[in-house]
Amino acid sequence: MKDMNDMIETRDLQIGVPLTDRSFNIVSDINLSIRRGDSIGLVGESGSGKSTIALSMMGYLGSGLEVLDGSSSFQGSSVFDLSPAKLQKLRGGQLALIPQNAGQALAPNLRIAAQLAEALELHSDISASKRRERMVELLHQVRLPDPDVILERYPHELSGGQQQRVAIAMALAGEPEALILDEPTTGLDVTTQAHILELLAQLRVERNLAMVFVSHDLGVIARVCTRVVVLYAGEIAEDGPVGDVLRNPAHPYTRGLIASIPKLSEAAIPASMEGRPPSPGSREQGCLFAPRCSYANDLCRTSKPAQTEAGQAHRVRCHHAAAIARRADLPATTRREPTKVGSPIVSLEGVQIRYDSPGLIDRLTNKPRPTPTCDGIDLTIRAGETVALVGESGSGKSTILKAISGLVPPSQGSIYGPDRLQLPPSLKNRSADQKRRIQMVFQNPDASLNPRQTVEEIIGSPLKLYENLSGRALRDRVVELLNQVRLGASYLRKLPTQMSGGEKQRIGIARAFAARPDLILCDEVTSALDVSVQAAVLRLLVDLQAQTGAALLFVSHDLAVVRAISDRVMVLYQGRMCEIGPAEDVFGEPYHPYSAMLMNAILEPDPDKAPALLADDATELSPPAQGCPFQRRCARRIGPICDTESPRNALGPKGPHDIRCHLSESDLRG
């Protein structure tokens, strides 16, 4: 029964790689209908097939993929049957794409004006002379200031946020009726993301567009979409109105997914889901989620569930949906035990770090040096505590880690170890014991393990180096560590290429703890992982920390994760301190204006909580030469004092909570 209001419809869509005897499915059984004004979110983790489905709505298939069954239509006509000419007219015209990484999606050889002109040429009737006017208008609509300047630029000269807005303008050029958005805000700063999403939400309402929004982030979906479709291993696990699904999830996977997202309101580590999704093409007999499901029984393992109703326009693919819905419990979170904090093990005082190295010519011409990347960093880390460094890109948080580990010596200031003994700034001057006490875990699981070494060799390296272990003793200790990270002895001979991202991170953690360090530097260690895996890794870190008494210096841009595990938090902007203190204090009133902006821009997976935008998303190329680092964007700037003087502690002399701002405490609270 076709509803004439359906803009986009997929019916029993199955896409995969056709093989001789069987097919290798990427997505199957996809039934969706989207009307004008609808905004549906396709949510899922990596490998769930969400991008494949979204792009197939434009008639696009990745290389090697074919439509094995079913159809995908736009306004009644099947997109895969359209002639090339009709397809070209459709794409960018009535149905436009907003890509994931606009910086790479814009042609590097053409100015912005040329690329917008191309869109106008292909999809509008505007004469060549009127195009310039229209381009300026489009850039206004996406809230880009100085359109004339932007039009003459090349894509690489724009910031990430600007590039994304240009991509949106390009999509709007054809007066689309529907938009496909493929993770358009992934990779952007939190504040930029909030702004772009607000823009998209407004556009949708103004123009009554249909939107298909692909994301792995439920917070983003909650902000922009009216309906959400949860994908697991290429199938629709659940779909329905966004409020319903997020507040009353019916499918165990959805429940698990929501539960694994750290919430800003709770200082607790979210629950994690064991296992991983099946690899594409595996012939599971029953429900695809059964191996990981805590409610699964034999029925689940043998027969595939059909879609059933779970509420108003709310479908779920599960045998036990009704029974599960009656259970009100969500998987348990773990509150963090307050840690017993010991004596200082690493202290930074007045640390300044520079990356520039003046060449000979620069020195001869007395060229003024650029502003240091980091300046004025004071930080003390005590045994057993978890301190978080929070900030967006350019905040210098990774740089501080590099200074502590000795890779980049500070240009000013000192770093002290335990007992106030100065730590040599450069790695080569440190003793083996000094190096042993500080270990690091890295962000990218693929790059942090040597692809040619087995797990045993990888974890064995620090053991050989520091404890001189070998033979049976070495093997035993490695197995002990593997058990601690919940992987077990079967991993000894595995190579990194045989493991998932989460497993590789655990190996990295095991390697760091192997040396029995005092401090572990964690550089965005969960940022590259799927949300459901993230929680397990966090829990592991915290458990190991409690067992060994090590301190953690945890760098992240994700405030909710930081809230879950930190004792103290330092907020950084452009390499300078804004605020530092116990987690509850930093996450509560009063806020530094920058912290306020960050906290308010966070997206929770709750459609009723919209972010507040406290500053525009201008990107700064370098920190100001003097004064408060936030002077150019602060909504609460007082006057010239902000530009010239570095702010002191607004909360009075050295208490545990330090806000660097010229405003008084009462002003900050007000």
Partner 1 sequence: MSAEATDIDLRPPLHMRLLKVIESMWRQPSGKAGLTLLSIHLFVAIFAGLLATHDFAVQDASAIFAKPNAEHWLGTDNLGRDVFSRTLLGGRPALITTFFGTMLALFLGGFLGILLGFVGGTIDDVAMRVVDAFLAIPWLLLLLLIIAIFGTATIVMILTLGILYAVAIIRIIRAGTLDVVAQDYITAARTRGEKNVTIVIRELLPNVLDVVLVEGAMRWSWMLLTFSALSFLGFGVTPPTPDWGLMIASSRNFMSVSIWPVIAPIVALSTLIVGLNLSADALAKALGVDRARIGG
Partner 2 sequence: MLKLLLKRLALAVVTIAIVVTIVFLAVEALPGDACTSFLGRAAKGNRLIMCREEFGLDQPAMPRFIEWITAALHGDLGESMARRDTVAELVGIRLRNTLLLGLSASAIGVPLAIMLGVIAGLWRDRPLDIGLSTFAIIIMTIPEFVMGTVLILIFSIWLKWLPGIVITRPTAPLSDFLGDIILPVITLAGIMTAHIMRMVRTSVIDVMNSEYIKMAQLKGVPYWKMVRRHVLPNALVPTINLIALTIAWMLGGVVVIEVVFNYPGIGRLIVDAIGDRDLPLVQGIALVLASIYVGLNLAADILTLMLNPKLRTMKGH
Q: Which spans of this chain sit near partner 1 (rule: CB under 8 A)?
A: 405-407, 427, 430, 432, 435-436, 438-440, 442-444, 447-454, 456-458, 460-462, 465, 470-472, 474-475, 479, 489-490, 492-493, 508, 511, 515
Q: Taking the CA of residue 238 as centre, how many other CA atoms within 13 Å lie in the half-sphere pointing to its CB?
A: 30
Helix or strand holding residue 232 (H, E)? strand 227-232
Q: How far is the CB of 103 from partner 2 (least distance, A)?
A: 9
Helices (H) and strands (E) in the chain, counts: 26, 24
Residue 404 sits at φ, ψ, to 5 deg, of -65, -40
Residue 506 sits at φ, ψ, to 5 deg, of -65, -40
217: its two tokens: 């982030």
Q: Which does residue 219 touch among partner 2, partner 1, none (CB within 5 to 8 A, set by kind)?
A: none
202: its two tokens: 């407004």
Q: Is 99 in the site for partner 2 (CB under 8 A)?
A: yes
Q: Which of 112, 119, 269, 525 binds partner 2 (CB under 8 A)?
A: 119
Q: Which does residue 407 touch among partner 1, partner 2, none (CB within 5 to 8 A, set by kind)?
A: partner 1
Q: Which does residue 492 touch among partner 2, partner 1, none (CB within 5 to 8 A, set by kind)?
A: partner 1
Q: Which is nearer to partner 2, 55 or 273 (CB)?
A: 55
Q: Which is nearer to partner 2, 60 or 295 (CB)?
A: 60
Q: How far is the CB of 50 from partner 2 (least distance, A)?
A: 16
Of 607, 514, 650, which Cα lies nearest the Cα of 227? 607
Q: Is 176 in the site for partner 2 (CB under 8 A)?
A: no
Q: Is 358 in the site for partner 2 (CB under 8 A)?
A: no
Q: Which is nearer to partner 1, 447 or 618 (CB)?
A: 447
Q: Which is nearer to partner 1, 98 or 482 (CB)?
A: 482
Q: Which is nearer to partner 2, 108 or 338 (CB)?
A: 108
Residue 58 sits at φ, ψ, to 5 deg, of -100, 10
Contacts of 202 (CB under 8 A, 6+ apart): none
Question: How far is C-alpha 223 from the chain's CA centre?
Answer: 16
Q: Is 149 in the site for partner 2 (CB under 8 A)?
A: no
Q: Which does residue 77 touch among partner 1, partner 2, none (CB within 5 to 8 A, set by kind)?
A: none
Q: Where are the alpha helices (DSSP H) in 277-424?
A: 298-302, 321-326, 360-364, 397-405
Q: Which of 61, 69, 118, 201 binds partner 2 (CB under 8 A)?
A: 118
Contacts of 511 (CB under 8 A, 6+ apart): 439, 458, 459, 461, 462
Q: Which is nearer to partner 2, 101 or 646 (CB)?
A: 101
Which stretch in 12-20, 95-103, 331-339, 476-484 sits in contact with partner 2 by CB under 8 A?
95-103
Could you give the CA distance from residue 260 to residue 56 in angstroms, rounded to a whole number? 30
Q: Which of 122, 264, 474, 495 binds partner 2 (CB under 8 A)?
A: 122
Of 582, 590, 566, which Cα lies nearest the Cα of 665? 590
Contacts of 244 (CB under 8 A, 6+ apart): 311, 312, 314
Q: Is 187 in the site for partner 2 (CB under 8 A)?
A: no
Of 97, 79, 88, which Cα lies nearest the Cα of 122? 88
Task: Tell me the torsion sign for CA atoms 429, 432, 433, 434.
Answer: positive
Q: Which is nearer to partner 2, 85 or 328 (CB)?
A: 85
Q: Is 622 in the site for partner 2 (CB under 8 A)?
A: no
Q: Which is nearer to partner 2, 68 or 122 (CB)?
A: 122
Q: Is 157 in the site for partner 2 (CB under 8 A)?
A: yes
Q: Compute how many other C-beta atoms are within 10 angstroms of the C-beta atom of residue 324.
A: 20
- Cα 597–601–607 angle (5° rounding)? 150
Q: Which does residue 109 touch among partner 1, partner 2, none (CB within 5 to 8 A, set by kind)?
A: partner 2
Q: How far is the CB of 64 from partner 2 (least distance, A)?
A: 12
Q: Is 17 in the site for partner 2 (CB under 8 A)?
A: no
Q: Which is nearer to partner 1, 154 or 466 (CB)?
A: 466
Q: Which of 23, 101, 124, 649 binds partner 2 (CB under 8 A)?
A: 101
Chain positions 529 to 548 lying near partner 2, rule: CB under 8 A, are none
Q: Compute how many other C-beta atoms are within 10 angstroms of the C-beta atom of residue 347.
A: 19
Of 216, 159, 149, which Cα lies nearest the Cα of 616? 159
Q: How far is the CB of 394 from partner 1 (least distance, A)?
A: 20
Q: Is 58 in the site for partner 2 (CB under 8 A)?
A: yes
Q: Which is nearer to partner 1, 405 or 595 (CB)?
A: 405
Q: How far is the CB of 318 from partner 2 (least distance, A)?
A: 34
Which stretch in 40-48, 108-116, 195-203, 333-341 sits in contact with partner 2 by CB under 8 A?
108-116
DSSP secondary structure letters along 8-55: EEEEEEEEEEE-SSSEEEEEEEEEEEEETT-EEEEE--TTS-HHHHHH
Cα first-last separation, the chain: 57
Q: Which is nearer to partner 2, 97 or 383 (CB)?
A: 97
Q: Is 368 in the site for partner 2 (CB under 8 A)?
A: no
Helix or strand holding residue 564 (H, E)? helix 559-565
Q: Which is nearer to partner 1, 308 or 461 (CB)?
A: 461
Q: Which does residue 108 touch among partner 2, partner 1, none (CB within 5 to 8 A, set by kind)?
A: partner 2
Q: Which is nearer to partner 2, 133 or 356 (CB)?
A: 356
Residue whose structure tokens are 């909650």: 222
Which stretch in 117-125, 187-195, 347-355, 522-530 sits in contact with partner 2 by CB under 8 A?
117-125
Could you give the CA distance from residue 414 to residue 425 in angstroms, rounded to a whole number? 8
List b or e across 397-429, with b for residues whose CB sees 16 or more CB atoms inside 10 angstroms. Answer: bbbbbbbbbbebbbbebebbbbeeeebebeeee
Which residues in this chain contact partner 2 in the complex, by CB under 8 A? 55, 58, 60, 84-85, 87-93, 96-97, 99, 101, 104-110, 118-119, 122-123, 154, 156-157, 170, 174
